[in-house]
Amino acid sequence: MPNHPQDAERELLLYGVLLRCTAQDAGRQELNDLKLVIVKAQRNTSIDLVRMTNTTWTQEYGVPIPLSVPREKFTAVVTSETHWELGYAHKNLSERSDTAQYLLFDLEPTEDDGPKLSILFWLRDPVSTQMLHETDADTSELLRVWNWIPDEYPSKAEVLNSIGHRLLEKFKTTKNRVEIDESVNAYDQALGLLSVDDARFSGFLVDAAMAHRDRFGVYGDIEDINNAIDKGRILVAMCPDKEQLSYALGHLGGFLSERSDHTGGGDDLAQAIQLLQRAVDLIPEGRSDLPFWLGNLGSSLSRRFEQTGAFADLQQAIQCMKRALALFPDDHLDYPSALCELGMLFVHRFQRTQGLADLEQSIQLQQKAISLTSKSHMKLPSLLHNLGTTFLYRFERTGDLIDIGQSIQLEQQAVDLTPEGHADLPGHLNNLGNAFYRRFEQEGNLSDIGQSIRLQQQAVDLTPMGHPHLPTRLENLGNSFSSRFGSQEDPKDLEEAIRLQHMAVDLTPEGHALLPIMLTNLGGSLFRRFQQTGDLTDVELSIQFQKRALELYPEGHSHLLGCLSNLGASYLDRFSVTGKLTDVEHSIQFRQRAVDLSPEGHTSLPSLLTDLGQSFFARFTSIGRREDLLRTVACYRTSALSISGRPTDCLNSARKWALLSSKISESEVLEAYGRVIDLMTLVAGLENTPKRRHEILAELSGVSTKAAAAALSVNQPSKALEWLEAGRCIVWTQINNLRTPLDELQAIHPELTTRLTLLSRQLEDMGGRADLRKPRMDLPMHMQMSLETEAHNHVKLAREREKLLATIRNIPGFGSFLQPKVFAELMKGIPDDCVTVVINSDKSRSDALILFSTSVQPIVVPLDKFSYEKATNLADMLRQSLKFRGLRSRFSDEAHRDFRGMTIATKKSDVLQTVLHDMWTDLVEPILKRLPVEFQHSDGKCDLPHIRWCPTGPFAFLPIHAAGIYRTSGRGNSLAEFAISSYIPNLNILEKLGSPRQAINSNRGVLLVSQADTPGLPRIPFTNDEVERTSNELSRRGIRTATYKSEQATITVISGELEKLSCIHLACHASQDTENPLESAVHLYDGPLKLSEIMKKNLPNAELAFMSACQTSVGDEALPEEVVHLAAGMLTAGYRSVIATMWSIADNHAPDIAEDFYKCLLNDETGDDVVGLDITGSARALHMAVQALRRRLGASPEALSKWVPYVHFGI
């Protein structure tokens, strides 16, 4: 400790001294007339000690003695008449974290045979008169003091009471059960040392009772609260005046209220409210403890409301708590708890009235309470838990993902801060499980429902039989099992749900406010079992339980809507079995009532409207009344256009609306599908990882093509193209939008540009965060909390960007900023030098839409002979043929090469010829005939027209560029003889690809990578030959190259080289990850270089990516409209032109293709050399290289499989 003058001494009050000797020394003569001398710098303090017993002495005066003692050297000496010094002690108080309340130490004897003495000092701070550093003293030291003091010491009761207080305060910091147990023992022993008529008895009685109550609050032992109540009754019986009686009544009322919360006893609660009301009535205005007792009364009234649902109790509780808050000073210790209590009362009122303002006010109050509470406060976990519950209720009301994320984070913090064995832990676990359950209901994440069941099972296991909250926890666990059944359809989950929910209902007394909720949920699970088994008994019971619940719900209850809708569902399903029209009438009646009772803006309203529409449609299909059809469509339309519901619910309604609208009107069809397309991007929003967005979109596969088909059916081809662009390649478009140059906005609003750029970069980085959909139940809580925080921040960033975009779109001239493009804007990206053909494929019709840069409207070519079904069959035939032949990776022609347990078949097949033939006659030739361009046979010339194909659905898996009739002898017809072909994932990409790059000379060049012997993968020896021949061709033309082979080509090296050169040529293995396309990769010597890593690079000068590897343009069958392959990813990463493959390529032919490609690329159409590396001729160069290989190999099925897989993407 620094030796500052002001720190040299410390002012203390000496409240007591106790000196002891051993029994053997008690008769020694020198122990008569003892004095204690405390040595100080200026003047010593001498204190006469009075002998109490043979072995104990105490200070003579009962008033505290002021001391000014040195910090560095506190010296005490015991003297007598015959001996100046019998013993002494030197203590450095600075080593004790300042002065402790009790100082107990042995004295050093001045003579070898001197008496053995020990001494206890009882000290307090004269300023605060509070015990000093109550949590600093070691527990063992306090227990030593306790055991050291003899029973006959007059102040032992006070010392024990004081030790009890210090141990209790220490427990609040350490959460060590030993301390609270010893605290209770100390209080009880202190009380036992006093007679009932002792003036200190009532105060000690309250202290002991409160200690038992505190231990009950932590560990839930019923004997503790019973003990507290017994002491409270004694206190009430012995209070002589109103002031003391009000304290006694308040304490006893509080104890009874807490016991009722544990046992569910209504008598306890009624008595508690009566006692607390008497206490409040006895307290005069202005007394400092009035707000405390008002708060307790409000809490008890709230408990009774939760049990009985009596709304008058809730209103009175709110009034009590408001009055208490008005009386509390802001710095009062109980002020944060009162804020939280009032906040939770507003939550209860919201549950009854659905007033969103109550929730908003509740959140404000609770957030203020937490801000005023220290991080180490015992009540902090409960405050966090309550606020988390409130956010959960707001999420259920509004569907805002930010709220559910906030709820989970707060509940996780509450669980993390609550020690094992704490009475509140089961409740915190239960509510955290509820939050995961609600998020599962919203997003369908199986990891969430797994978490929910695990946490709620823990809560049930920790809740003793007879606990009033056990039914609720059983009910919640049952709900989670029932919900998981709805996703996984495991009958065991449903049986467990029904068992748990039955138990909950059986354990809940009649009249309990939660009973109707439990009956509703049990009815819902029985209804689900009926849907699985068809057993009418289950649906009968379901209706019975839900009708009983309906009778018990008070008007305005938040669960009433769900009960009405579920009851309508039960009647509707019974109608589907019995055909009784009265059942469908009842279904409509209950669901209509649910809709009518829904407050404006309620998140459940769209789903309730959808349910009502379903009931109307069932009646329409039964009796054919058109009015029911119109009502069905009206319900679906209102639901779809809602701005308050969950996007998934609105999208579900919009799809139903679109399907039925064709029966109503043409304009209705367009409006419906327009809403469908708008909602798709909302459902797969940027708040999700790319992987999750693809999972969502896989469930919506074919929606955009169906919308386009609907538009074409009403002669709206431009609208069809707009919808295809808005509803396809959504994830790639989102990534491109995050990278869109903002030059025009920068010129007008640089501050908005800066903010949008930052948010876009952060969101792109967030795309690579850990996937919360993976099981994480075994992770430590702090790691789970970290993942949730990351996910929550992701959602917040996405919402912030949405708000910023809304602000930008309000600026004149920026109304369509980063919005899906209309037809006229799409046409700006169509280049002048080629034809663009979009092929839309739907089960109802297939069409080709032909575009030129000058098109006012697309030319529509109905593909009557090439239906969706035919395209699917041909794609399946081709896929199976390739699988049979083992064409899955780049391979050498070594005999019997084994790859993934599959040997290449040598048997020839005509499947590929059949596919190519049918595509020519029924797909490509009809399109060519409609083109206003004269196509002539090329005879090997390279000045052919250029077609860019944009296929959808199963067409995306067909080699359209190679369509033709191939004969081993004689002349056939093929598209390659009439035109050069390229592919694009969508039209939007054209504008980006068409923008010329300002590549500086230092960037122009080709990065060459060869991996002939990649560890763990099949050998492909011709890659070295390919790269060497390519390098020679480029070097001969003066093109800079950088070549890396085998162990030279590591992830770090190649990743670093990407930004240095404008082109890359990869001769290696590649792999496609269809579950997470950004994890698709090219395989280097030390591992995969993932697309996600490539996309993180700044590649403003990227030009050409030649991917001489396997399957780099093969999409996912489940996601044909998202074009999830490496080639599309490289376009998104910034490359303008990509050479890729549809299936495996022959290793020995790859060098020829590569060499011929670069020869043609570096020559103009006359065969003369060109200056530099112009990648705009990439499609022509690949066409010429492939045709050269075709001429060498011939037209056999085996030969076709060697050259057909090569494809060009981009410009």
Inter-residue contact 726 to 1114 (CB < 8 Å): no
**Residue 255 structure tokens:** 């104890």
Which range is most confident: 115-119, 508-512, 644-648, 1163-1167?
115-119
Higher pLDDT, residue 59 or 962: 962
Higher pLDDT, residue 19 or 130: 19
pLDDT at 862 over 90: yes
Tens digits of residue pLDDT in 906-927: 344 589 999 999 999 999 999 9
Higher pLDDT, residue 455 or 51: 455
| pLDDT band, very low/low/confident/very high, at 2 (cuts 50, 70, 90) | very low
Contacts of residues 151-157 at CB distance under 8 Å and 24 or more positions apart, as own/partner, are 151/193, 152/52, 152/53, 152/56, 153/18, 153/52, 153/56, 153/58, 154/52, 154/58, 155/16, 155/58, 155/122, 156/190, 156/193, 157/190, 157/191, 157/193, 157/194, 157/200, 157/204
Inter-residue contact 647 to 679 (CB < 8 Å): yes
Residue 850: its pLDDT value, please?
A: 96
Inter-residue contact 51 to 78 (CB < 8 Å): no
Higher pLDDT, residue 1163 or 875: 875
Inter-residue contact 378 to 215 (CB < 8 Å): no
In whole angstroms, give the CA distance from residue 1134 to residue 1102: 6
Inter-residue contact 613 to 653 (CB < 8 Å): yes
In whole angstroms, give the CA distance from residue 523 to residue 539: 8
Residue 898: its pLDDT value, please?
A: 32
Look up tokens 């200026």; give the residue. Answer: 42
Inter-residue contact 114 to 87 (CB < 8 Å): yes
Beta bridge partners of 1137: 1104, 1210
In whole angstroms, give the CA distance from residue 538 to residue 355: 36
**Residues in the chain, overall count:** 1211
**β pairing state of 1063-1067 and 1006-1010:** parallel
Inter-residue contact 1139 to 1070 (CB < 8 Å): no
Higher pLDDT, residue 247 or 100: 247
Helix boundaries (H) for 820-859: 823-827
**3-state SS track over 956-967:** HHCCHHHCEECC
Residue 163: its pLDDT value, please?
A: 84
| pLDDT band, very low/low/confident/very high, at 60 (cuts 50, 70, 90) | low
Tens digits of residue pLDDT in 725-777: 999 998 888 888 888 878 788 888 889 888 888 888 888 777 666 555 555 55
Would you call 527 exposed, middle or buried from its count of C-beta atoms within 10 A (0-12, 13-18, 19+)? buried
What is the helix, strand, coil percentage profile of the chain, to 5?
55, 10, 30
| pLDDT > 90 in the chain, percent | 51
The CB-side HSE value for 724 (13 A sphere, CA atoms) comes to: 33
Look up tokens 């969103």; give the residue. Answer: 356
The amino acid at residue 209 is A
Phi first, then psi: give them for residue 1173, nearest 5 degrees.
-115, 100
pLDDT at 1137 over 90: yes
Q: Is 973 helix (H, G, I), strand (E, B) or coil?
A: strand
Residue 554: its pLDDT value, please?
A: 86
Residue 7: its pLDDT value, please?
A: 47
| pLDDT band, very low/low/confident/very high, at 896 (cuts 50, 70, 90) | very low
Would you call 137 exposed, middle or buried from its count of C-beta atoms within 10 A (0-12, 13-18, 19+)? buried
**Residue 908 structure tokens:** 């020839």
| pLDDT band, very low/low/confident/very high, at 795 (cuts 50, 70, 90) | confident
Which range is most confident: 66-70, 155-159, 449-453?
449-453
Q: What is the mean pLDDT of residues 516-543?
A: 94
| C-alpha 62 chain-centroid distance | 64
Residue 994: its pLDDT value, please?
A: 75
Q: CA angle at residue 323 from 317 to 327, to 5 degrees?
A: 140
Please provide the average confidence, as pLDDT, over all residues in the chain: 86
The residue among 887, 838, 831, 880 whose CA lies nearest residue 854 is: 831
The residue among 680, 735, 686, 728 whose CA lies nearest residue 708 is: 728
Q: Indicate the range of 382-391, 887-896, 927-936 predicted with least confidence.
A: 887-896
In whole angstroms, give the CA distance from residue 307 to residue 569: 29
pLDDT at 496 over 90: yes
Tens digits of residue pLDDT in 968-996: 665 668 999 999 999 999 999 998 887 76
Residue 971: its pLDDT value, please?
A: 65
Which range is most confident: 56-70, 267-281, 904-918?
267-281
**Residue 491 structure tokens:** 């009958």
| pLDDT > 70 in the chain, percent | 91
pLDDT at 899 over 60: no
**Residue 873 structure tokens:** 């069959």
Residue 81: its pLDDT value, please?
A: 80
In whole angstroms, give the CA distance from residue 567 to residue 561: 10
Q: What is the mean pLDDT of residues 53-69?
A: 75
| pLDDT band, very low/low/confident/very high, at 1150 (cuts 50, 70, 90) | very high
Q: What is the mean pLDDT of residues 332-338?
A: 89
pLDDT at 61 over 60: no
Tens digits of residue pLDDT in 171-211: 877 778 888 998 999 999 999 989 998 888 989 999 999 99
pTM of the model: 0.76
**Residue 934 structure tokens:** 């004269």
In whole angstroms, give the CA distance from residue 906 to residue 886: 10
Q: What is the mean pLDDT of residues 64-90?
A: 80
Inter-residue contact 848 to 838 (CB < 8 Å): yes
Residue 4: its pLDDT value, please?
A: 36
Residue 316: its pLDDT value, please?
A: 96
Report the run of H or E that residue 1089 belongs to, with start and end. Answer: strand 1087-1090
Report the run of H or E that residue 294 belongs to, with start and end. Answer: helix 290-308
Q: What is the mean pLDDT of residues 1023-1029?
A: 96
The residue among 69, 86, 68 whose CA lies nearest residue 77 is: 86
| pLDDT band, very low/low/confident/very high, at 348 (cuts 50, 70, 90) | very high
